[in-house]
């Protein structure tokens, strides 16, 4: 309890509140622009948190994360284009409401649902994470190995329709991760004698390249073609939802938040499936399922509550075990490490103050964008009018400055640009970049813990016979092969018909 009081005192300082406010506004802006994802918004700001206090830095990053997920619904509702992938399900009823001239109401509901979803998941996070952190000591090397493999196994389902594409990207990521010194003997691999590569590729320049620079290249290319993005309509109708409307969708919001939080905990899945699953559940539970898809408020509330609830859920494995749940949390690890905060069971003991301040600030952030969302919705359409030819260069320059700022190394800029080009090419040929990141983060954990396990137990049976490790490895096998089985079944169906 004392931790909570300290956290409240910390968070209610002027500098932290300003940080949260800035993060929230920046997050809404970045999230609302189509093509600029939450991952990118967080990656680009990390280098600027370097000189901040640890708590302030991590609070800034997480408030950007939460607010950008809400921001994604703005363009989904007004433009029929989700600002972040997690906003895809919001398009269905959100844009329908816009066509009916009720865009204000849709934005209002989205703000309320997102805010409440985020708050609910932040509360679940703050009560379960400390308990889970105590249990985290049960995780020895074999369990970390199994969990890392489980996380990596998701790559096959990230390839969209084609699991092979996810696999290609994942393998590429594992190869990148082998560069640098090996974790047990310290033998340098693929460094070509370069001291810059002795520690492997720096994570953050790689991430900025893959997510930010590649997107900047796309935007610049788009503006070259002279293809203007379609103009947003002005926000119409009343924004503030009535008490009656809110109470009607409260059960829906609550259910979707729980779904979102739990999906967030599972490594690798993320916001978009959570939003779709909650949308379908809301439809199934509704007394009027036929109204979904025709401008139903519940159809906006469900995916928005769910995708914001994912934020709290994804932080659970990150903070307790150091295993990221999705790309944004993978980047957050980088943000924690530069402040000397190593996620894992010891984090709660050594830096409880930071962790609890983070929990409390998440609640504040979610309430803050709820308020901003409801009160400023009228101006959101203006954001969407920023042309691509302005956004592209700004993002590119921020990417360059950001990569340099981390180590003050020119080499990192080249790394960032190289991975920007790789990300750009991958997007052109429709190969997802998320598996690369998952593999870069998880492969070293898998390698080191496998070798530690084999020192502890001499053979692979030692790992398999440990229950937690066995369950995760089994889940990994199922997760990995499901898309292939699904593919096979679908092909057979097509053939037989």
Partner 1 sequence: MKKIGMKSIVTAFIMSIILAGCGGSSGDSASNYPEESVKIIVPFAAGGGATTTARTISEYAEDHVGESLVIENREGGGGSAGQQYVASADNDGYTLLLITGSAVTNPIFNKTSFTYEDFEPVIQLVSDVSYLYVNADAPYDDLESFAEYAKDNPGEVTISTSGAQASDHYAALEIIEELGLDAEAIPYDGESQAIASTSGGHDEATIGNFAAAEGQVQSGNLKPLVVLGDEQTDVYPDVPTSIEEGLEVTEASWRGIAAPKGTPSEIIEHLHEAFKKGFDDEDYQNQMSDLGMDTEYKGPEDFQDRVVEYYERMSQATE
What secondary structure letter does DSSP report for 181? E
Q: Which is nearer to partner 1, 233 or 353 (CB)?
A: 353
Do 289 and 239 touch, CB atoms closer than 8 A? no
CB of 223 to partner 1, least distance (A): 5
Cα distance between the two ends of the chain: 63
Give the residue carrying structure tokens 């901003």: 372
Any contact of residue 349 with partner 1 (CB under 8 A)?
yes
Residue closer to partner 1, measured from CB, 21 or 337: 337
| 226 near partner 1, rule: CB under 8 A | yes
171 binds partner 1, rule: CB under 8 A:
no
* Contact assessment for residue 429 and residue 159, using Cβ atoms and an 8 Å cutoff: no
* CA angle 437–440–446, rounded 5-degree value: 130
Under a CB-based contact definition with an 8 Å cutoff, are residues 303 and 297 in contact? no
Q: Is 185 in the site for partner 1 (CB under 8 A)?
A: yes
Binding of residue 452 to partner 1 (CB under 8 A)? yes
For position 180 contacting partner 1 by CB under 8 A, the verdict is: yes
471 binds partner 1 (CB under 8 A): no
Segment contacting partner 1 by CB under 8 A, of 36-44, 148-156, 305-313, 401-409: 401-409
Stretch of 39-47, 139-147, 368-376, 426-434 contacting partner 1, by CB under 8 A: 139-147
Q: Give the tokens for residue 377.
A: 């919705």
Return the residues of window 24-83 that contact partner 1 according to CB under 8 A.
50-51
Binding of partner 1 at residue 496 (CB under 8 A)? no
Identify the CA nearest to 221 among candidates 396, 388, 401. Answer: 388
What's the min distance (Å) between Cβ of 132 and partner 1? Answer: 14
What is the maximal distance between C-alpha atoms in the chain? 68
Query: Residues 404 to 443: which contact partner 1 by CB under 8 A?
Result: 407-408
Among 161, 371, 397, 478, binds partner 1 (CB under 8 A): 397
- DSSP H stretches of helix in 80-213: 90-99, 103-135, 141-153, 163-177, 203-207
- How far is the C-alpha of 196 from the C-alpha of 199, rounded, in Å? 7
458 binds partner 1 (CB under 8 A): yes
The SS3 call for residue 88 is: coil
Could you say which of 17, 52, 181, 475 contacts partner 1 (CB under 8 A)? 181
358, 58, 63, 417 alpha-carbon torsion, rounded to 10°: -160
Give the contact letters, 82-121, x = binds to partner 1 (CB under 8 A), - = no. Answer: ----------------------------------------
Selected from 243, 340, 496, 497, the binder of partner 1 by CB under 8 A is 340
Among 53, 389, 411, 484, binds partner 1 (CB under 8 A): 389
Q: What's the token pair of residue 202? A: 């720096």
**Of 183, 118, 108, 172, the residue nearest 144 (C-alpha):** 183
- Determine the Cα–Cα distance for residues 495 and 163; give it in Å rounded to an integer: 20
Residue 13's contacts (CB-CB under 8 Å, 6 or more residues apart) are none
**By C-beta, is 371 or 401 nearer to partner 1?**
401
Question: Which residues in this chain contact partner 1 in the complex, by CB under 8 A?
Answer: 50-51, 136-142, 180-186, 188, 195, 198-200, 220, 223-224, 226, 336-342, 344-346, 349-350, 387, 389-390, 392-394, 396-398, 401, 407-408, 448, 452, 455-456, 458
């Amino acid at each position: 309890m004392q931790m909570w009081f300290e956290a409240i005192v910390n968070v209610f300082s002027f500098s932290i509140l300003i940080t949260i406010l800035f993060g929230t506004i920046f997050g809404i802006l970045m999230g609302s622009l189509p093509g600029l994802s939450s991952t990118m918004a967080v990656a680009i700001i990390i280098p600027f948190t370097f000189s901040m206090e640890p708590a302030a830095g991590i609070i800034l990053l997480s408030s950007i994360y939460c607010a950008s997920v809400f921001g994604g619904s703005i363009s989904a509702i007004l433009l029929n284009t989700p600002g972040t992938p997690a906003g895809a399900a919001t398009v269905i009823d959100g844009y329908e409401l816009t066509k009916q001239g009720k865009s204000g109401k849709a934005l209002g509901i989205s703000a309320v649902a997102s805010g409440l979803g985020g708050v609910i998941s932040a509360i679940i996070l703050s009560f379960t994470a400390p308990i889970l952190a105590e249990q985290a000591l049960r995780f020895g090397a074999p369990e970390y190995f199994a969990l890392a493999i489980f996380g990596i196994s998701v790559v096959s389902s990230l390839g969209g329709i084609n699991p092979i594409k996810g696999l290609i990207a994942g393998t590429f990521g594992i190869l990148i991760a082998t560069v640098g010194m090996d974790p047990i003997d310290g033998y340098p691999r693929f460094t070509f004698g370069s001291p810059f590569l002795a520690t492997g590729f720096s994570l953050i320049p790689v991430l900025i390249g893959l997510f930010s620079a590649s997107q900047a290249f796309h935007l610049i290319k788009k503006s070259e073609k002279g293809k203007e993005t379609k103009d947003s309509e002005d926000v119409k109708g009343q924004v503030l939802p009535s008490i009656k409307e809110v109470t009607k969708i409260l059960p829906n919001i609550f259910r979707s938040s729980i779904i979102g939080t739990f999906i967030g905990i599972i490594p690798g899945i993320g916001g978009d499936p959570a939003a779709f699953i909650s949308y379908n559940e809301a439809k199934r539970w509704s007394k009027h399922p036929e109204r979904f898809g025709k401008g139903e408020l519940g159809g906006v509330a469900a995916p928005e509550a769910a995708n914001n609830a994912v934020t709290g859920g994804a932080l659970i494995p990150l903070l307790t075990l150091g295993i990221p749940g999705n790309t944004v949390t993978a980047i957050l690890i980088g943000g924690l490490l530069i402040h000397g905060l190593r996620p894992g069971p010891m984090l709660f003991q050594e830096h409880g103050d930071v962790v609890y301040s983070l929990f409390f600030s998440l609640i504040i952030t979610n309430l803050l964008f709820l308020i901003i969302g409801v009160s400023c919705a009228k101006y959101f359409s203006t954001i969407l009018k920023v042309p691509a030819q302005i956004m592209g260069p700004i993002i590119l320059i921020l990417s360059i400055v950001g990569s340099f700022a981390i180590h003050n190394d020119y080499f990192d800029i080249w790394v960032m640009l190289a991975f920007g080009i790789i990300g750009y090419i991958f997007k052109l040929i429709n190969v997802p970049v998320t598996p690369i990141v998952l593999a870069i983060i998880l492969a070293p954990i898998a390698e080191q813990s496998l070798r530690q396990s084999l020192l502890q137990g001499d053979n692979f049976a030692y790992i398999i016979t440990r229950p937690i490790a066995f369950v995760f490895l089994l889940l990994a096998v199922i997760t990995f092969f499901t898309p292939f089985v699904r593919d096979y079944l679908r092909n057979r169906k097509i053939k037989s018909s």
